[in-house]
Amino acid sequence: MKDKKIILGITGSIAAYKGAILIRALVRKGAEVQVVMTPSAKEFITPLTLSTLSRKPVISEFFSSRDGSWHSHVELGTWADAMLVAPATAATIGKMANGIADNMLVTTYLSCKAPVFVAPAMDLDMYAHPSTQKNIERLRRCGNRIIEPTEGELASLLHGKGRMEEPDKIVEALEDFFTVQNTLRKKKVLLTAGPTYEKIDPVRFIGNYSSGKMGFALAEACAQKGAEVHLVAGPVALKAVHPRICRTDVESADEMYAAATAAFAGADIAILCAAVADYRPETQRTDKVKRETDAQFTLSLTRNRDIAASLGAMKRTDQLLVGFALETGDGVREAKEKLARKNLDLIVLNSLEDGGAGFRYDTNKVTLIDRKGEMTPLPLQSKAEVAEKIVTGIITLINER
């Protein structure tokens, strides 16, 4: 944290007093802290307290009431190595998620080029409300890191989830980020995501339920760690946000195979997260199959080429290959066999028997298995959080080499 420049955004929450503890902890770690607070935050903690601890004048308004000078949110956004909004109320989270730039904190957030951490703090029903959860998920998809609140006694005297994470844990999250943030710098990552569609005729296809959410979360996580990401995406309705992500759209398994094998030679790491169809129709009809004229219709399938096995056979000793396994039976055994058979360095095991995990969900529950057979089970959490853990596992493998 030494010499890191941190914007600390403080909003109108009873947890605003923890801002003082955060400042002291960050300054002791060697960080330079600039506080930006909303007008309502002043009702909970004074700017004098915060400026004394940070050794910098607190910014709250666009203009100084004394001399009319302007506080530039653009300069702040380019100055920082990270922005931390703690506590983040439901109102501020909603404004951040929807671009409502009516105060200095939100305009600074919208101008910030550095990673942003958000630590929500609110009553349990506000936190659990679908509107709040939708806004938090939107922030995640924009690349923000959410520091989940904890369960405990709240200002309402109710007990539940909504209590801002303790300052020492928040500082630890920032330290972890700065420790690993550049370990993928200058690395080239090939990443496949989403389903493939195998045409039957001009209007029908064989496909699967993959939404691409896990693959896109991994692409964002790799890019945020400094990697140049070549994302080969099947037909999905998702957008890649980070500027270091170069996207190639494909539809069929053959198209994905061609794109992946062509890009693999120039990659340091390949992460094969796509749910590629194992089979395709042996012939594709150029005309639509008609129910009225085709009383019986037989579909003959042929096997698609195995992208993971092909890349495993091509892999150089300086490359890292990560695969995924989605199983319904003895998943660990199947995943270990797949890892060895396809010459993978790491495999991510999904089980369809775990609730809230797998296709279409915003959450996932996986187990990481490496070539030594060591397993790292992860709890059910958002796919963005799972992506962070997978990338951390990849970084560990790189460092071990």
362 in Cβ contact with 137 (< 8 Å): yes
N- to C-terminal Cα separation, the chain? 26
Of 165, 146, 144, the residue nearest 22 (C-alpha):
165
Other C-beta atoms closer than 10 Å to the C-beta of 266 total 10
Q: How long is the chain?
A: 401
* 244, two tokens: 């270091």
Is the dihedral angle over the CA atoms 256, 259, 264, 265 positive or is it negative? positive
Q: Where are the alpha helices (DSSP H) in 40-152?
A: 47-54, 73-79, 90-98, 104-111, 124-128, 130-141
18 CB-contact burial (10 Å; exposed 0-12 / middle 13-18 / buried 19+): buried
Catalytic residue from among 208, 304, 343, 364: 208
* 221, two tokens: 């996580």
Which helix (H) or strand (E) segment holds residue 116: the answer is strand 116-120
Residue in this structure with the two tokens 């404004």, named with its chain if needed: 95
Half-sphere exposure in the Cβ direction for 286 (13 Å, CA): 0
Query: CA-CA-CA-CA torsion for 210, 131, 384, 278, nearest 10 degrees?
Result: 0
The strand pairing partners of 56, in sequence order, are: none
Amino acid residing at 16: A
Across 211-230, b (16+ Cβ under 10 Å) vs e yields bbbbbbbbbbbbbbbebbbb
399 is catalytic: no
Of 117, 169, 107, 170, the residue nearest 142 (C-alpha):
117
Of 232, 271, 287, the residue nearest 254 (C-alpha):
232
What whole-number distance in Å separates Cα of residue 128 and Cα of residue 148? 12
Catalytic residues: 208
